[in-house]
Structure 1
Amino acid sequence: MKKVFAVTLGILTAIGGFVDIGDLVTNALVGARFGMRLSWVVVLGVIGICLYADMSGRVVAVSGRPVFDLIRERLGRRTGLVTLVASFLVTLLTLIAEIGGVALAFELASGVNYLLWVPLAAFAVWLVIWRVKFSKLETVFGLMGLLLIVFAVALWKLGPDWGRLVHQATNPHPIGHETWATYAYYAIALFGAAMTPYEVFFFSSGGVEEKWTKRDLATERSNVFIGFPLGGLLSLAIAGCAAVLYLPVGIHVETLGQVTLPVAVAFGKLGLAIVLIGVFAATFGAALETSLSCGYTIAQYFGWQWGKFVRPRQASRFHLVMIICLLLAILTLMTMVDPVLVTEYSVVFAAMALPLTYLPILIIANDPDYMRDEVNGRVRNFLGLIYLGLLLVASIAAIPLMIVTKAGR
């Protein structure tokens, strides 16, 4: 049973990374506009995040230290600072969206405007981080997030033309009035969402929280190769539901309510209740991940005490960073900025920061001083370099495509 629960770190990371508020809406939006014609991007992203998460997990298991700590030491403070600034700003932007996502989930359940839920959502995130042990945090929200499997069941219940969905997935191109520029923009957005920087930082820091050693390499790999593919499958199911319900009638998805509607159509009120719990768990789990990742990156760069394995009083600056970030999230959302729009922008900006995040990980994973006999082999390095090339292309193309397509509008 302990081995089963050990996998929940990967599940929590996957749910929070693949199926947060932005991904819920983006996958549904893409499904409604392109059907399954961008599903290859999700598959590509799953392989990439598995590749680099496995590297970061092995670094922790072998060295006993988180990736960001080693980035500063191995590459120097200046290079580490560039990585810190890029990844921190993207993570903070994502945190703002996740707090808004939790509030939107409460709005759907209660009918009360989401702005009234924003302070309560942020306070709840802080309270859980302050009081709940890391092992319980990852188990509860990781397993609750699995309720989003209801999207996959709903897709089957809706009775789609499976041949048509397969045809869409195997014919990747824009349709109707959609342009190649818009198609490429959403491809980069999905790719950036799948490989968001905070995922690897949270995963590696979580390994330290769990006190991984070399004997835990099997646990690390089970986390990676079960958790992340599961998140990818959930993303495909969300896109599939939208493709079945919205694409034939030309409806665009822009709200969280539209995302959950296919489940309600398939199962009625019971399905709606289940999916709302799953959405809450996914967005709240993502808010926990991004909050912790903000604290992890800052504290590890400056060499402060950090983590939930010590008392909050012993890691006061680590917790102060998270409190400040949560307050910034509240203040930003109270300006009435659309949290869904914030996340759509955050995944594109994440694509810009990806090379700065993953190149240092590849360098450290090849350093025998840290990795000893667990350095990358030829296959891992070959795939790692291919993905770095893809990340660089996505990084360069992100802003021009955002301007040309007016953010996919």
Structure 2
Amino acid sequence: MSKLLGLTLGVLTAVGGFVDIGDIVASGTIGARYGLSLLWVLVVGVVCICAYAEMSGRVVAASGRPVFDIVRERLGPRAALLNLVGSFLVTLLTLTAQIGGIALVVELAGGISHLVWVMPIAIGLWLIVWRVGFEKMEQVFGLAGLAVLVFAVSVWWLDPDWSALADQARSLSPPSGEPVPTYLFYAVALFAAAMTPYEVFFFSSGGVEEKWTAKDLRGQRINVLLGFPLGGMLSLGIMATAAVVLLPAGLDVQSLSQVVLPVALAFGVAGVAVALFGFFAVTVGAALETGLSCGYAVAQYFGWSWGKSIRPVKAARFHLVVGLSILVAALVVQLGIDPVKITEYSLIFSALALPLTYLPVLVVANDRRYLGEHINGRLANTVGLAGLFVVLLAAVSAIPLMIMTGMGA
């Protein structure tokens, strides 16, 4: 059992990265509009994040240091500062969306405006960061987030036309009548959701928190190969239920309540309750990931003491950055800005920041001074370079597609 629970870092990182509030609505929107014709993007995203997360974990296991710490030393403070600023701002924007997403889930469950819940949620997140140990946090929220599997079960229960779904999945182009730029816009957004920059920083920092060494190389690879594909499957489940129920009915997804309609059709109120519980768990997990990642990035750049394994009084600046990040994010949501819109913009800006994150990871993973015999092999470099090409393509096309399509309208 202890070995099984040891895999929950990968589960928490993947669930928080793939299934946050923006991806929940985006997956529903894509399924309702395109069926499974963007499945290929999800597959590419899973392969790429697995490759770079494995590199990040291997860096930690071989050197005992998190990726961002080595990036600053390897590339110099100026280049690393650009990386820090881009990653921090995108992560803060994503944290804002997660806090709003948690509030939307609570509103849907209780019927009271999400704005009422914003500050209590922020306080609750801070208390978890302050008081709950890293391993306990990852176990509770990583495993609770698996409740989102109710969407995959709903697809099976609804007994769809499997051949029609297979035809959609094999398609590499938009359905007839759908504009190609809009299709590509959602492709970029879906890829960015799989590759959000904070994922590798959180995963590598978590490896330091758990004190990985070279003896843990096999375990971190299992973490990657189990957790991230699982996150992709959860996203696919949401997309598939929308393809089965909402696409034939011609319904567009514009709110969280519409995403759970297929589950309600399959399992009634009980299914909706499970789905909302899963949504709550994954959005809280994502908020914790992004909040901690803000602190990790800043503390590692400036060389401060950091980590949840250190008493807060001895890592005061790290905890201060996390607390201020949560507060700023909560205040932005409190202004009444739609959390889903915030997340949609965060995905586009994430796409812009992807090269700043993943190029340095690839450079460090090939540096024998830090990894010794554990540097990238031919397969890791091949997949990494192919992934970097896709990352650059997404970064270059994100803003033009956003302007051309009016945010996918």
SS in 2 for 1:246: helix
Q: State the shift of 1:16 in Å.
A: 0.2
SS in 1 for 2:106: helix
Superposed CA deviations along residues 122-147 of structure 1, whole A, max 9, x for unmatched, are: 11111101000000000000010011
Structure 1: distance between partners of 2:129 and 2:324: 14
Provide the residue aligned with 2:359 in structure 1: 359
Structure 1: distance between partners of 2:320 and 2:25: 31
Is 1:151–2:151 an aligned residue pair? yes
Provide the residue aligned with 1:184 in structure 2: 184
Provide the residue aligned with 2:55 in structure 1: 55
State the 4+ residue runs in structure 1 displaced beyond 3 angstroms.
none
Q: State the shift of 1:322 in Å.
A: 1.0
Provide the residue aligned with 1:372 in structure 2: 372
Provide the residue aligned with 1:11 in structure 2: 11
Provide the residue aligned with 2:135 in structure 1: 135
Structure 1: distance between partners of 2:392 and 2:230: 26
Structure 2: distance between partners of 1:13 and 1:5: 14
Provide the residue aligned with 1:2 in structure 2: 2
Superposed CA deviations along residues 37-60 of structure 1, whole A, max 9, x for unmatched, are: 001100000000000000000000
Structure 1: distance between partners of 2:206 and 2:379: 26
What letter matches 1:117 in structure 2?
W
Tell which deviates more after alignment, 378-387 or 22-31: 378-387
Matches within 5 A, 1:4-403: 4-403=4-403
Q: State the shift of 1:114 in Å.
A: 0.3
Q: State the shift of 1:340 in Å.
A: 0.5
Q: State the shift of 1:177 in Å.
A: 3.2
What letter matches 1:318 in structure 2?
F
Q: State the shift of 1:362 in Å.
A: 0.5
Structure 2: distance between partners of 1:197 and 1:330: 21
Structure 1: distance between partners of 2:373 and 2:130: 38
SS in 2 for 1:354: helix
Q: State the shift of 1:233 in Å.
A: 0.7
Structure 2: distance between partners of 1:67 and 1:225: 19
Structure 1: distance between partners of 2:59 and 2:205: 11
Q: State the shift of 1:176 in Å.
A: 3.9
Structure 2: distance between partners of 1:135 and 1:393: 37
Identity rate, percent: 59
Structure 1 residue runs of 5 or longer lacking an equivalent are none
What letter matches 1:381 in structure 2?
N
SS in 1 for 2:309: coil
RMSD (Å) for aligned C-alpha atoms: 0.7
Superposed CA deviations along residues 281-312 of structure 1, whole A, max 9, x for unmatched, are: 00000000000000000000011110001000
Q: State the shift of 1:408 in Å.
A: 0.1
Structure 2: distance between partners of 1:252 and 1:107: 21
Q: State the shift of 1:107 in Å.
A: 0.5
Superposed CA deviations along residues 125-181 of structure 1, whole A, max 9, x for unmatched, are: 111010000000000000100111111001111111110011001012112432100
SS in 2 for 1:376: coil
Structure 2: distance between partners of 1:283 and 1:21: 6
Structure 2: distance between partners of 1:163 and 1:407: 32
Tell which deviates more after alignment, 179-188 or 252-261: 252-261
Superposed CA deviations along residues 54-93 of structure 1, whole A, max 9, x for unmatched, are: 0000000010000000000000000000110111111000
What letter matches 1:261 in structure 2?
L
Structure 2: distance between partners of 1:277 and 1:73: 42
Structure 2: distance between partners of 1:140 and 1:249: 37
Q: Normalization by structure 1: what TM-score?
A: 0.99
Structure 2 residue runs of 5 or longer lacking an equivalent are none
Tell which deviates more after alignment, 66-75 or 168-177: 168-177
What letter matches 2:395 in structure 1?
S
Structure 2: distance between partners of 1:246 and 1:272: 16
SS in 2 for 1:306: coil
Structure 1: distance between partners of 2:3 and 2:218: 10
Tell which deviates more after alignment, 148-157 or 173-182: 173-182
Q: Normalization by structure 2: what TM-score?
A: 0.99
Structure 1: distance between partners of 2:125 and 2:327: 11
What letter matches 1:27 in structure 2?
S
Structure 2: distance between partners of 1:261 and 1:117: 24
Superposed CA deviations along residues 212-257 of structure 1, whole A, max 9, x for unmatched, are: 0111111101110000000001111100000111111211101111
Tell which deviates more after alignment, 399-408 or 317-326: 317-326
SS in 2 for 1:51: helix
